[in-house]
Structure 1
């Protein structure tokens, strides 16, 4: 990862950006939405300024991602993420969207598991250093066009799967309606 991406450490400072967090299985959400209020407080100026297309790794463990989750910022043009997150962007010769599949399948978590020596701290964060995080290996085709084709193919498949899921949900609702007509209360 260290060869593929550059760490982002630029602080928000006095910029007025939306404070966001990562919700496992969902991605980036505003703190106001997740917690009912902005929880950044005095730490806000130490938050990292993140732009659309850049990534953050949340060291918080969850059922879906026991070793933490990684998401690409797509929901906001720019935002402020906690400095406890490791934020990064892929270098120009790499297609960022190519790596989303790895992160969605927790490919990073299987490698990070070897660095976790104990459970989460009292604040719920795993004790994973930046050096350990950036040491994970992500197999990468050397040709950028090939990365782009793979990313496009996977995105198309995700779209088809999403549409099929909506169809299944609609059919379940239709079945429920038919069952209610067949067996009225």
Structure 2
């Protein structure tokens, strides 16, 4: 089963007025995320317990941890079948590398840091922490915003590394 982080989910319940996506893109992202979760649950779900599927504007990043390299490969193969996905990056870690409680707390700290950062629209970003290793994805309105978001994440105590998949895309008006 895919992990559900109540803190990061809560942070996403924000007015769509700041969201860089159209209503159609929001719906497509929700459909892709739901389909991915369903597909993983139907395909020997217990092996996917540590998988988080981050989706923004039909770009997907797999984050979290799985037990073996074969499972990592299988998760990617399953999701690559969805033709709605524009790009897919597999950042799944192999092994028992995280603690759900610590990772959830770290994600809450990242949420607080990005939400409080002037010049960062965190509503357009997604993140996952696994054993202190953070994956950040989504869009920034400028290279400066992307850089600032990465700096803010790295400043959070407990972050060991950061892999960023932020894309710079001007906000649609």
Tell me the TM-score normalized by structure 2. 0.27
Structure with greater helix share of residues? 2
Tell me the TM-score normalized by structure 1. 0.26
Q: Highest CA radius of gyration, 1 or 2?
A: 1
